[in-house]
């Protein structure tokens, strides 16, 4: 009877020395079984942008790191046009700036040259440059039509080179902040680089290309101010510049 009573106590004492899984072991097993827990604190990778002409869009930099932020004004954006804009929108703004700068450079040369020197059309086109295009339309309507068609072809070429088709743009712009719906530049397109370089002036070195781009932007910005001033002056005075 005494033996039967002592058996449970002996068994419980022996069980105290039996190996049991520790809390550390249990923790290790649970960590190994849930690999997702190892990556809970990691942030998802950001979008990857194509490198074109040595430039890769960097949202952390002013204007994505595009050339043009030069002295004396540097990162000049007092109104905040580029603040909180998507990469797509900033590229579109730069495309507009480069295009308008090129048109302004041509216009500035046209104003300064065409007023004192106008041998075309037997010298019938004269007076303030603001009125020259209207005079050409009256004197040589076929030439005016050819000129307008040439501009339309050039714009169509630029659109098909740098821009997505409207159907593709609508589809891809659904996930873009600052949606432009029907307009979207190609991801591998550098703003303003339409591939027109008949004299082979485009540098192959990224640093040299960025330097040339900054020079073009500087001249274009100055030309836009100059062209605006000349147009307003002639519109107000009704006479030639000089």
Tens digit of pLDDT for each residue in 187-225? 899 999 999 999 999 999 999 999 999 999 999 999 999
CA 192 – CA 93 distance, rounded (Å):
11
Which residues, including other chains, have CB under 8 Å from residue 181's CB and lie 6 or more apart? 169, 170, 173
- Whether the pLDDT of residue 239 is over 80: the answer is yes
Q: What is the DSSP letter of 19?
A: -
**Position 30 confidence tier, pLDDT thresholds 50, 70, 90:** very low
pLDDT for position 240: 92
Q: What is the DSSP letter of 42?
A: P
- Whether the pLDDT of residue 1 is over 70: the answer is no
Who has greater pLDDT, 170 or 108?
A: 108
Least confident of 10-24, 59-73, 88-102, 148-162: 10-24
- Whether the pLDDT of residue 70 is over 60: the answer is yes
CA 172 – CA 166 distance, rounded (Å):
10
CA 38 – CA 46 distance, rounded (Å):
20
pLDDT for position 46: 64
Mean pLDDT of the chain: 81
Answer for the pair 223, 105: CB distance below 8 angstroms, yes or no.
Answer: yes
pLDDT for position 40: 54
pLDDT for position 148: 96
The segment with the largest mean pLDDT, out of 5-19, 80-94, 184-198, is 184-198
- Whether the pLDDT of residue 32 is over 60: the answer is no
pLDDT for position 10: 40
C-beta neighbour count of 234 within 10 angstroms: 19
pLDDT for position 174: 77
pLDDT for position 184: 84
């Amino acid at each position: 009877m005494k033996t039967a009573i002592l058996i449970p106590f002996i068994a419980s004492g022996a069980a105290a020395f039996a190996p049991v899984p520790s809390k550390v072991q249990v923790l290790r097993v649970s960590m190994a079984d849930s690999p997702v827990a190892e990556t809970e604190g990691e942030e998802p990778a950001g979008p990857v942008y194509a490198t074109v002409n040595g430039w890769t869009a960097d949202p952390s930099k002013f204007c994505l790191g595009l050339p043009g932020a030069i002295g004396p004004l540097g990162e000049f954006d007092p109104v905040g046009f580029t603040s909180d804009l998507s990469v797509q929108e900033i590229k579109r703004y730069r495309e507009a700036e480069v295009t308008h700068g090129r048109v302004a450079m041509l216009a500035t040369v046209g104003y300064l040259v065409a007023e004192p020197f106008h041998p075309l059309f037997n010298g019938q086109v004269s007076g303030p440059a603001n009125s020259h295009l209207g005079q050409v339309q009256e004197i040589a309507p076929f030439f005016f039509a050819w000129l307008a068609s040439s501009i339309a072809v050039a714009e169509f070429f630029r659109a098909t080179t740098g821009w997505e088709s409207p159907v593709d743009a609508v589809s891809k712009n659904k996930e873009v902040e600052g949606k432009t719906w029907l307009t979207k530049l190609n991801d591998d397109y550098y703003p303003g680089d339409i591939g027109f370089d008949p004299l082979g002036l485009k540098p192959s070195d990224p640093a040299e290309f960025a330097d040339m781009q900054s020079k073009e932007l500087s001249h274009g910005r100055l030309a836009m101010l100059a062209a605006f001033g000349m147009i307003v002056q002639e519109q107000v005075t009704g006479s030639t510049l000089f």
